[in-house]
Structure 1
Amino acid sequence: MVTNVQQHPYHLVDASPWPMFMGLSSLFLTTGFVLYMHGYNIGGTFALVGLLAVLLTLFLWWRDVVREATFEGKHTSAVQQGLKYGMILFISSEVMFFVAFFWAFFSVSLSPTVEIGCTWPPYNMPVINTWTVPFLNTLILVTSGATLTWSHHAMREGNRKDSILGLVLTIVLAAVFTGFQAMEYIHAPFTMSDGIYGSVFYMATGFHGFHVIIGTLFLTVCLYRHIKYHFTREHHLGFEFAAWYWHFVDVVWLFLFVSIYWWGNS
């Protein structure tokens, strides 16, 4: 007797156009960027079209995932476990991404060459005061981690009001952090072209800032979904992933503050 009843707990994904669209969009984005960097004006248009296509594809793809998880019940415990492994691997790859920047920083700071005066920071290089905006941003980011943890615990306890409040506070603190980071860049006494110090500083802190923006968007989507009753005490995997990502961003900033802003400026 033929039956359509699924005999396993795993989600066999339906045919989807989004992987193909993402590949084509990424090709447009990278090709346009390369053309633009080589002086071709049409490259800017290609890159913009590619960026908009990437964002649209991401929205539609994640919309399908949310629908499968929230309304179709396809994210069983076995599927959730697999998704957790995937998120752990993704964050692990992000850790190695930042390890490269820290490796570059310590390579040049522990053994400064004669070209930069055999000292770190380089000779005559103005630096940012550790205990001004950098220290304030550290307090803000650590506080945002605490409010997000509060929100998570409130969600697990079924306290919807506190959970939403904690999430809102986290997003506000994230926006304040980004604002202070932008202000620091505007008033910084050096630029990215000011030798190895400027290059390492802006690459490391800049990519961290980019991750903060991505994490803020992640949390904002979670806030919207929380308000729409997509999350329950037992099933809120999207929120958990956002929390993992945000705590990763917190930890990276602590390493940046201690190494680049504090130790590297002393």
Structure 2
Amino acid sequence: MTNLTRTSFQAHPFHLVSPSPWPLFTSTCLFSLATYTVLFMHAYISAKYLINLALLSLVCSACFWFRDIISEATYLGNHTLAVQRGLNMGIALFIVSEALFFLGVFWTFFHSALSPTGELGAHWPPSGIDSVNPFELPLLNTIILLSSGVTVTYSHHSVIQGKRKGALDGLAFTVVLAAIFTALQGIEYDLSQFTISDSTFGSCFYFGTGFHGFHVIIGTAFIAVGLWRVLAYHSTENHHLGLESGILYWHFVDIVWLILFMSIYYWGS
């Protein structure tokens, strides 16, 4: 058997990826971004410019990495059913790890809220903290985010049923609602009467809601890529793993926000 025959026909359904520089380059960019952020927090000169450079490098690296994966899935046909099952399991484990991350945030919040120390005034919210009214911008954001969950689910079912227009409309509405949510979150931060350094309450509030906002931005990019792939006829009724992963991630973001709203915004205020 010649080398050509051996490489053309493989005896298993799995995809052995070619050597790629993007995992290493992305890891380096992430480490640089974290390092420069710490330096910026300690008022190092020019740290903010290094943050922008690291962020730009990270975005470029991710784009090139996504390009290669899209080529493997769409043009080379390397994402067989066995590969798709493995990728689904990877996404599920990733979301579990994210859930455990937020579990640590909620653990810290409830540990401080249920047994506030004397330094906090022995009650929650701590003395001098004017918490955010949950029935103003937070309630509006909750409605917007839940609405985006409805539109993305509609899009998913449209893809499965082969309805291209419904899929495009649902994804477009989801991206718009996500952008509105992020903008309103920024307005809420601007109007808040406390900062991240104002006791445990401020730290828990901004750490939890801020990281959720970061996840919303990542999920928005995820859904936007899915929208572009539907436009480019990459996604079919039987093969839309990337879009399905983004939708699953978006539902996770919705659930985390509901818990944040009920615990930190409503009960914690």
For 2:212 and 2:109, locate their aligned partners in 1 and report how far apart those are by CA, in whole Å. 15
Deviation, structure 1 residue 11: 0.3
Q: Would the alpha carbon gap of residues 151 and 193 (structure 1) be closer, same or farther in structure 2, given more than 3 Å must change?
A: same
Partner of 2:61 in structure 1?
Answer: 57
After superposition, the C-alpha distances for 1:121-168 in whole angstroms (9 at most, x for unaligned) are 112321111111111111111111011101100110011111111111
Partner of 1:167 in structure 2?
Answer: 171
Does 2:254 correspond to 1:250?
yes
Deviation, structure 1 residue 172: 1.1
Relative to structure 2, which stretch is displaced further, 170-179 or 30-39?
A: 30-39
Partner of 1:134 in structure 2?
Answer: 138
What pairs with 1:102-117 in structure 2 (closer than 5 Å)?
102-117=106-121
* TM-score of the two chains, using structure 1 as the length reference: 0.95
Partner of 1:123 in structure 2?
Answer: 127
What pairs with 1:214-225 in structure 2 (closer than 5 Å)?
214-225=218-229
What pairs with 1:95-244 in structure 2 (closer than 5 Å)?
95-244=99-248
Amino acid at match of 1:41: I
Q: Indicate if the aligned counterparts of 1:11 and 1:75 stay in contact, CA closer than 8 A.
A: yes
Amino acid at match of 2:120: I
For 1:137 and 1:27, locate their aligned partners in 2 and report how far apart those are by CA, in whole Å. 32
The Cα RMSD (Å) is 1.4
After superposition, the C-alpha distances for 1:31-59 in whole angstroms (9 at most, x for unaligned) are 43344444432444443332222111111
Amino acid at match of 1:70: T
In structure 1, the residue corresponding to 2:159 is in which secondary structure?
helix
Deviation, structure 1 residue 82: 0.3
Deviation, structure 1 residue 68: 0.4
Identity of aligned residues (%): 51
Runs ≥4 in structure 1, deviation > 4 angstroms? none
Relative to structure 2, which stretch is displaced further, 169-178 or 13-22?
A: 13-22
For 2:225 and 2:20, locate their aligned partners in 1 and report how far apart those are by CA, in whole Å. 22
For 1:34 and 1:97, locate their aligned partners in 2 and report how far apart those are by CA, in whole Å. 20
Q: Indicate if the aligned counterparts of 1:31 and 1:46 stay in contact, CA closer than 8 A.
A: no
* TM-score of the two chains, using structure 2 as the length reference: 0.94
For 1:47 and 1:67, locate their aligned partners in 2 and report how far apart those are by CA, in whole Å. 30
After superposition, the C-alpha distances for 1:168-202 in whole angstroms (9 at most, x for unaligned) are 11111111111111111111121112111111111
Q: Indicate if the aligned counterparts of 1:31 and 1:43 stay in contact, CA closer than 8 A.
A: no
Amino acid at match of 1:245: Y
Q: Would the alpha carbon gap of residues 81 and 137 (structure 1) be closer, same or farther in structure 2, given more than 3 Å must change?
A: same
Q: Indicate if the aligned counterparts of 1:10 and 1:79 stay in contact, CA closer than 8 A.
A: yes
Partner of 2:92 in structure 1?
Answer: 88
Relative to structure 2, which stretch is displaced further, 192-201 or 232-241?
A: 192-201
Deviation, structure 1 residue 28: 3.2
For 2:28 and 2:128, locate their aligned partners in 1 and report how far apart those are by CA, in whole Å. 47
Amino acid at match of 2:184: F
Amino acid at match of 1:140: I
In structure 1, the residue corresponding to 2:213 is in which secondary structure?
helix
Q: Would the alpha carbon gap of residues 28 and 128 (structure 1) be closer, same or farther in structure 2, given more than 3 Å must change?
A: closer
